[in-house]
A and B are shown apart, each in its own frame.
Chain A
Amino acid sequence: MPKHTEDSLPGYRRPAPGTQPNHSHPAYVSSIKRAPSKPLVYLPHTLSEVTGPLFEPSAMDVKACDLTHQGSGEPLGERIIVSGRVLDENGRPVPHTLVELWQANAAGRYLHKIDQHDAPLDPNFTGTGHAVTDANGRYRFVTIRPGAYPWKNHNNAWRPAHIHFSLFGPAFVTRLVTQMYFPGDPLLAFDPIFNCTADENARNRLVSLFDWESTLPEQALGYKFDVILSGREGTPWETK
């Protein structure tokens, strides 16, 4: 068993080639002036990278995982349940970790001052929520299926329907911000953000699965979206 001492902490895995986007992706126009041009400096993980912020479950609002009961009435649109597990690359659940979520409403409009899309806001929908995974790494949101919306990236550019996810995991290096998509969306093939990752399988793992198990009769369709965070190298505590 490797020693776990102050100066030899097990680091976290690095991404397999192609499974994470390059910083520069000119098809996504906003990256042109913002992506770094110089090579990144490889940094072995130190104590500063293998630790990271942890959030007390008690500080979270347990009702924040239901985005359909934030106003005085119910939001418009198709109610859905988005649930899944947060696992590490070794297949272990990541328990008690914060999951932040934000999205457009059913009409494809964000409750944000710079969103100028000519689509109505919904007074009963903020499009924002959070949850903490349970002991088995499970999370569950009740929300509204977001609409597609136009953006200015290129002529007749439309973002496929998506939900933004932000996760922390146990360490600074496990931090992840991503987007969840919906199966069968014809816009996926044309979206430079979805397509910024070279590996097709990695890309397709951003597409949620329709899920009978979490679908509630007379209530809401279920979509399953598992999120994998970087896992420890070496896995010293695991016996085969």
Chain B
Amino acid sequence: MTLHATTSQTVGPFFSIGFDRLNRSDLTGAGVTGQRIEIAGRVLDADAQGVPDAVIEIWQANTHGKYAHPDDPQDKPTESAFHGFGRIPTQQNGTFRFATIKPGRVPGPDGKLQAPHIVVSVFARGLMRRLVTRIYFPDDPANSEDYALALVEPSRRHTLIAKRSTSEALLEWNVVLQGPDETVFFDC
């Protein structure tokens, strides 16, 4: 029996009344080990205007490179305090900010480890379907051999890699929905 997945529809402008209950912008806390980082940025439209009615959801492995999920077959430690999910709505000018730990490396389909990354869904009024992208970390030597980054034309890879800021623990990463410097979105 084969069914077709239900068609996606936009979250529209009023999703916060349904989404806010699960908002989570700090994945760290007691019992969570690893390198604490903050990632801040903006969701921008084709005119470089901030998108105030967007929400991003993140999913990531813990510091050991293990997902809190039964389908992760790796023999690596789980941390009961680390769930790996965040939901962060944008603010008035399209800004968002969240705190987490840098994830460890997880296996890729080519038999090699992927570079540390966070997978991201972007929802907003005007988006019929969520957009899927990834956040990688600056200056990580593993980026050069990462399976997913290698699928992206070199001139656009920078849109997936967070930038350093003045503070060691704060990274900047923006979502450009449309335009010359458009973020790479994945078909997955």
Partners in one complex: yes
CA distance A33 to B47 in the complex (A): 7
Partner of A20, one of B18, B84, B129, B134: B129
Asked if A44 and B46 sit within 8 Å, CB to CB, the answer is no
CA distance A122 to B126 in the complex (A): 27
Please indicate the chain B residues that have their CB under 8 angstroms from the CB of A6 in the complex.
73-74, 107
CA distance A192 to B61 in the complex (A): 38
Main secondary structure of the interface of A (DSSP, over half): loop
What is the minimal beta-carbon distance from A35 to any residue of chain B, in angstroms?
Answer: 6
Please indicate the chain A residues that have their CB under 8 angstroms from the CB of B109 in the complex.
7-9, 44-46
Which stretch, B9-17, B30-38, B165-173, touches the partner chain A? B9-17
Chain B: number of interface residues, binned into ranges: 35 or more
Asked if A176 and B108 sit within 8 Å, CB to CB, the answer is no
Asked if B14 and A110 sit within 8 Å, CB to CB, the answer is yes
Asked if A173 and B130 sit within 8 Å, CB to CB, the answer is no
Asked if B18 and A166 sit within 8 Å, CB to CB, the answer is yes
CA distance A9 to B4 in the complex (A): 21
Would you call A206 an interface residue if the criterion is a C-beta within 8 Å of the partner chain's C-beta atoms?
yes
Contacting residues of chain A (110-147) with chain B, CB-CB under 8 angstroms = 110-112, 114-115, 126-128, 130
Asked if A53 and B84 sit within 8 Å, CB to CB, the answer is yes
Asked if B19 and A166 sit within 8 Å, CB to CB, the answer is yes
What is the minimal beta-carbon distance from B184 to any residue of chain A, in angstroms?
Answer: 6
CA distance A176 to B6 in the complex (A): 8
Would you call A66 an interface residue if the criterion is a C-beta within 8 Å of the partner chain's C-beta atoms?
no
Please indicate the chain A residues that have their CB under 8 angstroms from the CB of B152 in the complex.
41
Please indicate the chain A residues that have their CB under 8 angstroms from the CB of B126 in the complex.
28, 30-35
Main secondary structure of the interface of B (DSSP, over half): loop
Contacting residues of chain B (133-172) with chain A, CB-CB under 8 angstroms = 134, 147-148, 151-152, 156
Chain A: number of interface residues, binned into ranges: 35 or more
Q: Mark B119-137, 1 if CB is under 8 A from A, else 0.
A: 1010111111111101000
Partner of A46, one of B11, B85, B106: B106
CA distance A215 to B5 in the complex (A): 26
Please indicate the chain A residues that have their CB under 8 angstroms from the CB of B121 in the complex.
172, 175
CA distance A43 to B148 in the complex (A): 7
Given contacts A28-B10, A228-B3, contact A37 B187 (CB under 8 A): no
CB nearest neighbor in B for A4:
B73
Please indicate the chain A residues that have their CB under 8 angstroms from the CB of B49 in the complex.
33
The 5 A-B pairs with the shortest beta carbon distances in the complex, nearest first, are: A102-B18, A30-B126, A53-B85, A51-B69, A34-B126
Name B's A-contacting residues (CB within 8 A): 1-19, 21-22, 45-47, 49, 51, 53, 57, 59-61, 67-69, 71-74, 83-85, 106-111, 114, 117, 119, 121, 123-132, 134, 147-148, 151-152, 156, 177-179, 182-188
Given A30-B126, A196-B9, 15 further pairs, Cβ under 8 A: A21-B129, A36-B183, A41-B187, A44-B109, A46-B106, A46-B148, A47-B71, A51-B69, A126-B17, A128-B18, A166-B19, A176-B8, A177-B15, A228-B5, A229-B5
Name A's B-contacting residues (CB within 8 A): 4-9, 13-16, 19-23, 25, 28, 30-38, 40-54, 87-91, 100-102, 104, 110-112, 114-115, 126-128, 130, 164, 166, 170-173, 175-179, 193-194, 196-197, 199, 202-203, 205-206, 227-231
